[in-house]
Amino acid sequence: MKNILTITLNPTVDKSTSIDHLAPEKKLRCQQPKFEPGGGGINVSRGLKRLGLSSTAFFPAGGRTGSLLRELLAKESIDNETYEVSGETRENFIVVETATNQQYRFGMPGSEISVLEQEGILNAIASLQPFPGVVVVSGSLPPGIEPQFLREIVRLVKSKGAQVVADTSGDALQAMVEEGVYLLKPNLGELGKLIGKEALDNDSADEAARELITKGKTEVIVVSLGAQGAYLVTKDLTEHVPAPTVKKLSTVGAGDSMVAGMVSILAKGGSYQEMVWMGVACGTAATMNSGTELFKREDVLRLFEWLQNR
């Protein structure tokens, strides 16, 4: 079993509540708020915990919200390593309108991370002992951090002999791919941008993925297809894995759940097919829950069995 590290450069505390109706210019009576740890890599660590695997969540933290984030992770028994920064850790706000079941998500940008703090983050990652075998870099970038900083992280992690799993988007994803990673989880739009094509469909995804693999930019690509499941591409293998049909309540957290599922198999040394089956099972299970909740383990095991025996 390989040790797992998740890196979240723009962590958050997700504050969620519900109201009957959302209306302007009125004092809206909300339900008691719920506070949860958030950010791509942190959610991956939370998902791994539900699957029975331990990981270390690394993130910069600052101020009152940073302290709250550490407390929330401690309550979920998730190991974490933090680098103290001067700015306040961000807080996102989620409101569910119960009359329509519509969800409104207000995402904050986070405080700026200085160049000196970025150097400290790199040094903190480099000093982790024992160094993990699998490192997940997931989520958005905070102000002050340029995409090229991710190349430095990837370079550092690879120099330690670890496998890099990339789950971000835009210029940040492009920078990581330029440096070369082990596993990518783009959607069709993100995959198209990586190879300079405006649009891809299911038929052309295989060709696009193999182009990146041939260039040595990655070894494994799992293209997220949403309700259609996922498309696995390696040097020697191509497989479409359909998503089981379930009653969907919310897609929030489905992507992070999918990564958690795949990493759980990767760390155990399972096959590529098992890795994608577990990823699709976790991502689909997450859509069965409302709000910001991830997935339930019992749903994942049932869906994984269906995918194995289909």
Model confidence pLDDT, tens digit, residues 110-121: 899 999 999 999
Region 212-238 average pLDDT: 94
Of 36-45, 181-190, 291-300, give the lowest mean pLDDT range: 291-300
Order across the sheet with 163-167: list the strands.
79-84, 56-61, 4-7, 134-138, 163-167, 183-184, 220-224, 230-233, 238-241
Q: Which comes out higher in pLDDT, residue 13 or 292? A: 13
Please check the confidence at residue 153 and state whether its pLDDT lies above 80: yes
* Helix, strand, or coil (residue 288): coil
Give the pLDDT band (50/70/90) at residue 251: confident
CB-based contact 246:286 (threshold 8 Å): no
pLDDT digits (tens, 9 = 90+) for 223-235: 999 888 999 999 9
Distance, in Å, from the CA atom of 125 to the CA atom of 131, rounded to the nearest integer, reads 9
DSSP H helical segments within 20-126, as ranges? Answer: 40-50, 63-75, 115-126
CB-based contact 139:12 (threshold 8 Å): no
pLDDT at 198: 75
Distance, in Å, from the CA atom of 238 to the CA atom of 39, rounded to the nearest integer, reads 31
Vertex 201 angle, CA 199 and 202, to 5°:
155
Please check the confidence at residue 50 and state whether its pLDDT lies above 90: yes
Vertex 198 angle, CA 194 and 200, to 5°:
80
pLDDT at 200: 78
Region 210-221 average pLDDT: 96
Distance, in Å, from the CA atom of 182 to the CA atom of 263, rounded to the nearest integer, reads 12
Please check the confidence at residue 126 and state whether its pLDDT lies above 80: yes
Ordered by where they begin, the domains of the chain are 4-16+32-309 (3.40.1190.20)
pLDDT digits (tens, 9 = 90+) for 66-94: 999 999 999 999 999 999 999 999 999 99
Order across the sheet with 12-19: list the strands.
34-38, 12-19, 90-97, 102-106
DSSP 180-233: --SEE--BHHHHHHHTT-S---HHHHHHHHHHHHHTTS-SEEEEE-GGG-EEEE
Distance, in Å, from the CA atom of 182 to the CA atom of 163, rounded to the nearest integer, reads 6
Length of the chain: 310
Whole-prediction pTM: 0.95
Q: Which of 83, 44, 64 is nearest to 267 (CA)?
A: 44
pLDDT at 246: 92
pLDDT at 64: 97
Residues catalogued as catalytic: 256
